Amino acid sequence: MNKTKREGAAPSDALVLFGITGDLAHKKTFPALYAMVRHGVLNVPVVGVASSQWSLAQLRKRARDAIKASGKIDDKPVLDHLLSLLGYVSGDYNDPHTFTALKAALGDARRPAHYLAIPPVLFEAVVKGLDAAGLVDQARVIVEKPFGRDLTSARQLNRLLLSVFTEDAIFRIDHYLGKEAIMNILYFRFANSFLEPIWNRNCVASVQITLAEDFGVKGRGAFYESAGCLRDVIQNHVFQIVALLAMEPPAYQGYAQGGFADAAKRPATNNAEIPSWRWCRQNQSCWIVRY
């Protein structure tokens, strides 16, 4: 049964990062935390959880190296403050003692935000472990993609989350959408009055999306064995970009007018066809995503 919606939920008083020794944390999370501290929006304990048998000193070195690799450390007091906020709990996600140790590490924090940057096969164990340890009452949970392995497992995961957290405390995210270049697509499309009228089948012959990376699987072998490239990149990163490129103007902002409404109600098919007046030529098939 779904939990009762929380009224006037207070800000989180701690951030728990599951998978803090992983690739995503190194490339994205640590630099983001550094930026948050620099902008004065992060001043709560940051507790990392992972299976790696690391010391706190090793974690701080990892954070420093990650921030340095992402650019430069231009404010040492900010870096020092971030490092002072870090804590670490090592343990097996299937071991109740891991969550007992996490509860102790959180101290007086009562409203933690749990960020699950771990393979989807571990989501269930972590959510149940948090529940058993009494770490979900006023907490939030952020679930990284991929959200399950298929439709059945995604629905099962959703039921599990809703049995423990309230809907307004669950955040299903794709970190890729936080990239400035990705967010700018909507502004580029809809805030330019010269571009919006020609962003359709009459003026666009084809769209090609190239997702290039300058690194390999490296230490992500275990993740790729369970998730694979299609689940890791195509069905979230790439399809999200396709959605931003092909979607109609957001109706809730009042941009949509007249003829957009009927097209917006038509469901997309399993072959990634985009059934919109914008891309369907008369007597021809609609834009179909190929990958």
- pLDDT, tens digit (0-9, with 9 covering 90-100), for 22-63: 888 998 899 999 999 999 999 999 999 999 999 999 999 999
- As beta bridge partners, residue 140 has 113
Residues with a catalytic annotation lie at 237
* pLDDT at res. 23: 85
Entry pTM: 0.74
* pLDDT at res. 30: 96
Residue 195 DSSP class: T
* pLDDT at res. 8: 57
> 71: which 2 tokens?
């650019």
* pLDDT at res. 290: 46
> Closest Cα partner for 143 from 118, 177, 163?
118
Query: 70-78 long-range CB contacts below 8 Å, 24 or more apart?
Result: 70/27, 70/30, 70/31, 71/31, 73/34, 75/38, 78/34, 78/37, 78/38
Residues of the chain with pLDDT under 70: 1-8, 215-224, 226-228, 250-291
